[in-house]
Amino acid sequence: MSIEKMLKYQETDMRLIKLENELKNSECAKKMISYQAATKKSFDTLTMFNDLAKSDMDQVRKVMSKFSDIVKQVEELMDESVEDCDEKQLDYCAKQIEKLNQSLEEFEREVVKINKELSDTSYKQGKEFEQAGKTSSAYRKNAEEFNALKQSKSAEASEIMKELRGMEGQLDKELLDKYKKIRASKRPVFVPFRAPASCGGCGMDVASDIVNKLGEGRHIQECPNCGRIMYKMD
């Protein structure tokens, strides 16, 4: 098989790769990826704030339930008939009421603390919502610019792909399949053999048996280091 045809195919394919890289590395594509990540981060933060708010509300409900129990106990003690109580019982009731009042004060402080946390969380949520809105808007704007850029290059890309399809019928199928497999991770696929004994892709020296095979007229050999296909022209 003529290596020239395969190299011509690669040359045409590299034009398509160049277009793909121009799109991928365009400023709007980079910004779009950045804003996408920022938007996701904002929504993750909002989810966290929502979970914190739910947790605080659960705490409020628990504290208020205990608060109600203590109020009820205080009311029950206050309802005790003074006439029916001796001095010892009255002293006990007074101490219990004092303890319950202390508990009420503690619970009141806890409610104030939780309410402050809720207020802080609500404020932060509002700020994060605002930021999420800005980044989402910026993402949409850059996505529109990217799609416009992609559209502007689509005609040229279609023409190149048409050329490639027309050339594929003249190439060795097994070699073409190997080319496409290597292309997914390394470009270019076909690289020149560099005398006296190195790969034109990775620059590593290759074994003497590979050098000998290339010298015997076998025009292509796979580089054992990078996996590219080395070629040697007559």
Domain boundaries, the chain: 3-171, 176-231
The whole-model pTM stands at 0.62
pLDDT of residue 176: 95
Give pLDDT, residue 47. 84
Looking at residue 37, its amino acid is A
Work out the number of other CB atoms within 10 angstroms of the CB of residue 74: 17
pLDDT of residue 215: 79
Per residue of the chain (234 residues), what is the pLDDT tens digit?
568 999 999 999 999 999 999 999 999 889 988 988 888 888 888 888 788 878 877 777 777 777 677 667 666 666 654 555 566 766 666 777 677 677 767 777 877 887 788 888 888 888 888 888 888 888 888 889 989 998 999 999 999 999 999 999 999 999 999 999 999 999 999 999 998 999 999 999 999 999 998 877 677 999 999 999 999 876
Q: Token pair of 138, please?
A: 């910026």
Q: Does the domain at residues 3-171 carry the CATH identifier 1.10.287.1490? A: yes
Distance in angstroms (rounded) separating the CA atoms of residues 167 and 175:
13
Q: Own/partner pairs for 142-147, CB < 8 Å, 24+ apart? A: 142/28, 142/29, 142/31, 142/32, 142/35, 143/32, 145/28, 146/23, 146/26, 146/28, 146/29, 146/32
- Burial (CB count within 10 angstroms: exposed 0-12, middle 13-18, buried 19+), residue 17: middle
Provide the pLDDT for residue 115.
Answer: 79
